[in-house]
Structure 1
Amino acid sequence: MKCAPRALMHLLKSYSARWRHAIWGLVLALVWTGSTIAAPTGSQAGKLSEKVRREAKGAAKLDVLVRFRGNPGASERALVRSLGGDVRRQHRSRWMALRVPGRVVAALADNPAVEFVAIDAPTGMTGLEVGRQVADQPGPDVPESGLKGAGVTIAILDSGVARHPEIQTLVAAVDLVGTYDPTFAPETSVDPDGHGTHVAGIMVSNGSRSSGGRFAGVAPEASLVSVRVLNEEGRGTSSTVLAGLEWVLDHKDQYGIRVLNVSLGHPIYEPAAFDPLVQAVDRLWDAGVVVVCAAGNAGNAGHGTIGSPCNSRKVITVGAINDRGTPPLADDFVAYYSSLGPTRIDLVAKPDLLAPGNRIVSDLSPGSYLELMAPSLRVQGDPTNRPGAFEHIQLKGTSMSAPLVAGTAALMLQQDPSLNPGTVKARLMLSARKVAVGDPFATGAGVLDILAALRTSGWVADAPSPRVFCDGAGGQLNVENTAVLWSNPSFPLAALWSGAVLWAGATLWDQAVVSSYAVFWPDATTSGSALLWPDATLWPEATLWPESTLWSEAVLWDEDLLLDVPIESLATLIEDEP
């Protein structure tokens, strides 16, 4: 028996053996050999992103992010100029955004002062729907806990936040796309795209312009800081997002930022240890900020479609369910667009949990790109008292799921300000409502349960998402046991994930075993269907891969697709799902 499903083989085989061994930190008895991309040689080895190597060929100019071994100064700038390049932005974390001729990328990587060269990738929002007339229906169901997020500040990295009558707790706004305002005055906040305002409303809207407050956010009394990194069409670059993450780190104490929502991303192009965005969110996490990230909307392309920076083991990665607008879990299913784990290259089990993401009604940025492109998605908040007043819009995507979790994190921190990010993540996962049957790389630990999260106890120093790996000797696919990984027996893997999903007929290994892994898919094979669970269903009436899928089995695991999930699949145009 081969040790990994065909899908995971494709996730790894496009990368050199050097990458695989460097990231896993283990010499695994892998059954496949070879690589579709030539391994780097000489002093470039391990210093060039595969994406950079491919795009540099024949490129007149290429935008890259270069990490230097020391803080870049005059000598590094002179190096860039000598190669015919330009410095576009200098970051505080030894990264420098450059535009260089494609032909000099190899020479740049050869320089001993250079640690790594990554692509300055296009980034996009992770939620958008077009082309559907919407019904007048309530927003996400938020149970009453008595907590409103008071005393907690949430930062949002997005397209900005418009001035809206329901968003009254905006305390600072910085624009890294348009004109930089050093005063950070909230009255200067804008959102020409509309995505950021919608996401912000899910977290902090007071619901005052909707009947009975039905469109109120999860934490309406939490303070909000807006960091605009996406343009009027919801697009940006890694270097701009990196600048935004560094801004949050620099100002977290000034504004008391405890939570950060990141409903944007790009495909994974390098190992997490060398990804500039992953490094940045990890620094924020280690500094005490709970980072919540939208998994992405590329799930229809198959497994391994989680985006960056959601591939960080530290952050809370959130996928989407379609809850059909009803409270019971029994009729819910994983939204077809919700990106699937494990993460590319590093093979980390993601998403961490799910939250409603379908047809979420929240605040509208008037005159925004979204309103102009999809006027049929506007919703009247109070048709009786203000007929014809459209101050809300309905969207869907994992962008809408993440702020529900971020808002819940704010409630947890209001209840107990001493909680660290790892404990917030661990409690959210442990308290999530468990599914009976399903794909663990779609469902994560289950569905967000706000009240249960507030009632859950237990403490961990940190809660890294477990890695998945192949046991060459036993022919099994394994995952790290979180009870050992998190140094707390109250958080075993079988408790975080439904026993019916992961552990049917399997047992946890003896905890004396190094790293204490749990057996995962003991009967997995590599032949036959490209789907890991061809017969799996999350709920009886809804399969994980509906027949309407546009990706044939032959295309599902195409290597080019795995290496280059387009940014459009992260900023998905999602239509015709009930």
Structure 2
Amino acid sequence: MNIGKRLRAAAAGALLAPTAVTLAAGPAHAVVKTADTMASATSLAQVRSIIGADTGSAATLTGKGVGVALIDTGVASVPGLPATQIVNGPDLSFESQAANLRYQDTYGHGTHMAGIIVGNDTATGTKGIAPGVKLTSVKVGTSTGAVDVSQMIAAIDWVVVHRNDDAANPIKVVNLSYGSGGNPVTWTDPLQFAVEKAWQAGIVVVAAAGNNGNAAGALTNPATDDWVLAVGATATNGTTATTDDTLAAFTNLSSTTTAGAAGQVDLLAPGTSIASLRVPGSNVDNLYPSARVGETLFKGSGTSQATAVVTAAAALLLQAKPTATPNQVKDWLTKGATALTTGTAATLGLRELNVNGALARTGTTVTAPTLKLSSGTGPLQGSRGTSSMTLDGVKLTGERTVWGTFTSSQWASTKSSGTTWSGGLWLGNRVAGDGWTGTSWASRTWAPATWTATPWAGSAAGWSDPAWSGRTWSGRTWSAGTWSGRTWSSDGWSAGTWA
């Protein structure tokens, strides 16, 4: 799958800058795109102004009381993230089997997304768009962004089951800056079934459209689903005015020629050279030092970044209108957005996020999606598509999850009954611990577990990776060395740009 696009063995997020690698959205792998030529970073204060979140009714909102789930590469405990605002859900990544890497962000993508949403970097005055939300990090990606679609589905399932664990901050929004390389039959696709069930459970699913370019012909899965909020990126061209904003060239578009049609981008948001939190010593930090902005920030471009902006905006809207349904949130955000007047965006009728415009929408009746829902009974391989994980040269393919066999009809049945998870068991496989602890840098953490299943490659080393040794997070930076594990890689995600 990919982060913002697809997850190949490179990056899982998107940053555009002098020389950048942009990450998009997808749940399996991340691919690095061509270097960006934009030299200046776009601050989160500028983003807030562009989307109208610093004036009018929006200016008083912080997202307080709203829970957001970030399914990504984990969140590092950098000083710019307030510990009281962060919760660690289960670590479902391969790195969960290494205590020194568990929950932490070895790649640098998840922390960048978290900074956009809830960051508070006092050193630079950088503040996230919704600094009052409670963010639950569910780690699925490794230091290369590698993750299988089965890990993404398990993560979505967990969020649905545990959305109300914190009564004061129920999870109402999930951020998917990942995307799969699959192009399955939509009415049976398991991944789309998973996000549709989250939507029906009252969770707004915000998914990156992908970073394969305007000529891609289709969005990445699950952004293709009509029951999610599919996000593309705008190039803000160095100003806070929207009159000169254009559709970012890396954003996936559907071959459909009108906005609002099934399978097309629903909403645009700033996504070029966004300056957010840096993870010193992480994979992307080592690979793209020119993306650093001072000591604490890093700039990147992609539909991943745009997705995080929209996720934060949805949280602001839900703070103001806490009883709003996902359909209403999508309707108000899309119809309250600002029409762009230049280029492809104008031709297609695409609009850019405007928080005050969404707040001004009145009425409670909205038109729900009309497309047929997925049954979830299709092949998992269809969801995975080209986003195949590789372990010691052996690809994970067919009807198998990371942890064992997968029968889609049985999973769909348990999904409908809300029983895919039982404690730390997913579909009967031990993938995490059985409950919450209070032992992390964050306010709470879901307990870990040792995986007992045999890797699909039958590796004698089990789930271990030599690269795990010698990597230590000091609380401010990762220890020396390159992230060159021998085992985990993926070739399906598309990346963004890291300068």
- Tell me if both proteins adopt one fold, taking TM over 0.5 as the criterion: yes
More helix by share: 1
For the structure 1 residues 249 and 221, does the alpha-carbon distance in structure 2 shift closer, same or farther, using more than 3 Å as the test? same
Matches within 5 A, 1:129-168: 134-135=39-40, 138-139=43-44, 140-142=46-48, 143-144=53-54, 145-168=59-82
Shift of 1:164: 1.7
2:209 to 295, 305, 308: 295
Shift of 1:267: 2.7
Counterpart AA for 1:237: D
Quick one: distance in 2 between partners of 1:465 and 1:340?
A: 21
Contact kept, 8 Å, 1:334 with 1:443, in 2: the verdict is no
For the structure 1 residues 315 and 126, does the alpha-carbon distance in structure 2 shift closer, same or farther, using more than 3 Å as the test? farther
Question: Does structure 1 residue 366 correspond to structure 2 residue 280?
Answer: yes
SS of the counterpart of 2:284?
A: helix
2:162 to 229, 251, 254: 251
Counterpart AA for 1:192: T
Deviations along 1:514-538, whole A, 9 cap, x unmatched? xxxxxxxxxxxxxxxxxxxxxxxxx
* Uncovered stretches (5+) of structure 1, i.e. residues with no partner: 1-120, 381-389, 468-565
Aligned partner of 2:221 in structure 1 is: 308
Quick one: distance in 1 between partners of 2:41 and 2:266?
A: 31
Counterpart AA for 1:141: V
SS of the counterpart of 1:411?
A: helix
Aligned partner of 2:431 in structure 1 is: none
SS of the counterpart of 2:243?
A: helix
Contact kept, 8 Å, 1:319 with 1:351, in 2: the verdict is yes
2:315 to 402, 410, 422: 410
Aligned partner of 1:450 in structure 2 is: 355
Aligned partner of 2:467 in structure 1 is: none
SS of the counterpart of 2:269?
A: strand
Aligned partner of 1:567 in structure 2 is: 492
Quick one: distance in 2 between partners of 1:297 and 1:242?
A: 21
Shift of 1:299: 1.6
Counterpart AA for 2:492: I
Matches within 5 A, 1:317-328: 317-328=230-241
Deviations along 1:438-491, whole A, 9 cap, x unmatched? 546985640001222122223235532889xxxxxxxxxxxxxxxxxxxxxxxx
Aligned partner of 1:563 in structure 2 is: none
SS of the counterpart of 1:171?
A: strand
For the structure 1 residues 427 and 197, does the alpha-carbon distance in structure 2 shift closer, same or farther, using more than 3 Å as the test? same
Deviations along 1:53-75, whole A, 9 cap, x unmatched? xxxxxxxxxxxxxxxxxxxxxxx
Quick one: distance in 2 between partners of 1:463 and 1:402?
A: 21
Contact kept, 8 Å, 1:153 with 1:257, in 2: the verdict is yes
SS of the counterpart of 1:236?
A: coil
The two structures, once aligned, show a CA RMSD in angstroms of 2.9
Counterpart AA for 1:243: A
SS of the counterpart of 2:164?
A: helix
SS of the counterpart of 1:278?
A: helix
Aligned partner of 2:331 in structure 1 is: 426
Quick one: distance in 2 between partners of 1:567 and 1:363?
A: 26
Question: Does structure 1 residue 263 correspond to structure 2 residue 187?
Answer: no
Deviates more, 1:408-417 or 1:456-465: 456-465
Question: Does structure 1 residue 232 correspond to structure 2 residue 232?
Answer: no
Matches within 5 A, 1:538-557: none
Aligned partner of 1:176 in structure 2 is: 92
Shift of 1:161: 0.8
For the structure 1 residues 208 and 269, does the alpha-carbon distance in structure 2 shift closer, same or farther, using more than 3 Å as the test? same
Shift of 1:276: 1.5
In the superposition, the TM-score normalised over structure 1's length comes to 0.54
Contact kept, 8 Å, 2:86 with 2:135, in 1: the verdict is yes
Quick one: distance in 2 between partners of 1:128 and 1:216?
A: 28
Contact kept, 8 Å, 2:304 with 2:496, in 1: the verdict is no
Quick one: distance in 1 between partners of 2:256 and 2:221?
A: 9
Quick one: distance in 2 between partners of 1:437 and 1:392?
A: 31
Counterpart AA for 2:154: A
Quick one: distance in 2 between partners of 1:133 and 1:401?
A: 17
Shift of 1:171: 2.1
Question: Does structure 1 residue 282 correspond to structure 2 residue 193?
Answer: no
SS of the counterpart of 1:156?
A: strand
Contact kept, 8 Å, 2:337 with 2:354, in 1: the verdict is yes
* Uncovered stretches (5+) of structure 2, i.e. residues with no partner: 1-25, 373-490
For the structure 1 residues 265 and 465, does the alpha-carbon distance in structure 2 shift closer, same or farther, using more than 3 Å as the test? farther
Quick one: distance in 2 between partners of 1:231 and 1:343?
A: 34
For the structure 1 residues 129 and 161, does the alpha-carbon distance in structure 2 shift closer, same or farther, using more than 3 Å as the test? farther
Aligned partner of 1:399 in structure 2 is: 304
Tell which structure's C-alpha radius of gyration is larger.
1
Deviates more, 1:331-340 or 1:442-451: 442-451
For the structure 1 residues 235 and 441, does the alpha-carbon distance in structure 2 shift closer, same or farther, using more than 3 Å as the test? farther
Shift of 1:413: 0.7
Deviations along 1:478-518, whole A, 9 cap, x unmatched? xxxxxxxxxxxxxxxxxxxxxxxxxxxxxxxxxxxxxxxxx
Deviations along 1:388-444, whole A, 9 cap, x unmatched? xx1110000000001111101101111111000000000001111012355469856
Matches within 5 A, 1:86-235: 123-125=28-30, 134-135=39-40, 138-139=43-44, 140-142=46-48, 143-144=53-54, 145-168=59-82, 169-178=85-94, 180=96, 189-210=103-124, 213=125, 215-235=126-146
Quick one: distance in 1 between partners of 2:104 and 2:34?
A: 21
Contact kept, 8 Å, 1:304 with 1:342, in 2: the verdict is yes
Counterpart AA for 1:285: W
For the structure 1 residues 269 and 216, does the alpha-carbon distance in structure 2 shift closer, same or farther, using more than 3 Å as the test? same
Contact kept, 8 Å, 1:125 with 1:195, in 2: the verdict is no
Quick one: distance in 2 between partners of 1:304 and 1:160?
A: 31
Contact kept, 8 Å, 2:207 with 2:307, in 1: the verdict is yes
